[in-house]
Amino acid sequence: MSKDTFELKANLREELGRSVEKLRAENFLPAVIYGHGFNNQNIVLKNSDFERVFRAAGESSLIDLTVGEEKPIKVLIHDKQNDPITGAPIHVDFYKVNMDEKIKTEVEIVFVGESSAVKDLGGVLIKTLEKLHIECLPGDLIHSVEVDLSVLKQIGDVVRVADLKIPANILVLNNPENPVVLVEEMKVEVFKEETPAVAPGAEGATPPPTEAEAAAAAAGETETGAQPMAGAEDKKDKKDKK
């Protein structure tokens, strides 16, 4: 967990709509600041400055944002739009927080250490949660939550939300019974080799019967299995007498 201080500088922006494309071409990033009881401000800042701070702060750390010559204000990165092709940020929303009002946000879960159940027993590590939903005052925000994988010693061991070490002034909104990470036994699939079907005429295939064999088989079936129709013998006798 960390509570580092992050700083950004920006200027007010007059360019709106399509005019912001010129700013992006010059490696500037258009943005907006909004918040409860705060008049929205359109601002612009250096793209490189934003990316440097975003890599370290993410969306769950307070940032001291200075606009022009004004005093710094506390903000969170609330929304970041990226170019669908290059992936570069093209617009950012900053949320001005009130230090006396609780906020809801997400913090990243960071996995550290190594599980002996995976290393020594061949288990499979399953991470089921990447972020934690929390509620707290802005000043109590933490950047991340660490999970020590070394506590997973046996196949079937689980770390649940309730097992995480969270400061008392932070309310976790996730279900405490939800798993965060667990170790499962490796499943081995056994494939059965199927005997390929032999095509007619191929080597090893049974040849089709000849006409004589087919006729003999038909005659044998009549003698052994088929029953004559009722009255057939009487009709035969009458015909012979005639």
User: Read out DSSP for 26-44?
Assistant: TTEEEEEEEETTEEEEEEE
Can you state the percent helix, strand and coil of the chain, rounding each to 5? 25, 35, 40
pLDDT tens for 168-178 read 999 999 999 99
Backbone phi, then psi, for 166, in 5-degree steps?
A: -120, 135
Which residue is listed with tokens 């010559």? 69
pLDDT of residue 210: 63
Q: With left for phi above 0 and alpha for psi between -120 and 50, is residue 68 left, alpha or beta?
A: left
Backbone phi, then psi, for 40, in 5-degree steps?
A: -55, 140
* pLDDT tens-digit profile, the chain (242 residues): 445 679 999 999 887 777 788 888 889 999 999 998 888 999 999 999 999 999 988 888 999 999 999 999 999 998 899 988 888 899 999 999 999 999 999 999 999 999 999 999 999 999 999 999 999 999 999 989 999 999 999 999 999 999 999 999 999 999 999 999 999 998 776 666 666 665 555 555 566 666 666 666 666 554 444 454 445 445 445 444 44
Taking alpha carbons only, the member of 161, 162, 151 closest to residue 117 is 151
Residues 6+ apart with CB under 8 A from 157: 115, 117, 151, 182, 183
Kindly list the structural domains of the chain, giving each domain's residue range(s) and its CATH number in brackets, ordered by start: 6-97 (2.40.240.10), 104-184 (2.170.120.20)
Whole-prediction pTM: 0.67
Q: How high does pLDDT run on average in the chain?
A: 83
pLDDT of residue 51: 94
Residues 6+ apart with CB under 8 A from 237: none
pLDDT tens for 136-149 read 999 999 989 999 99
Amino acid in the structure at residue 217: A
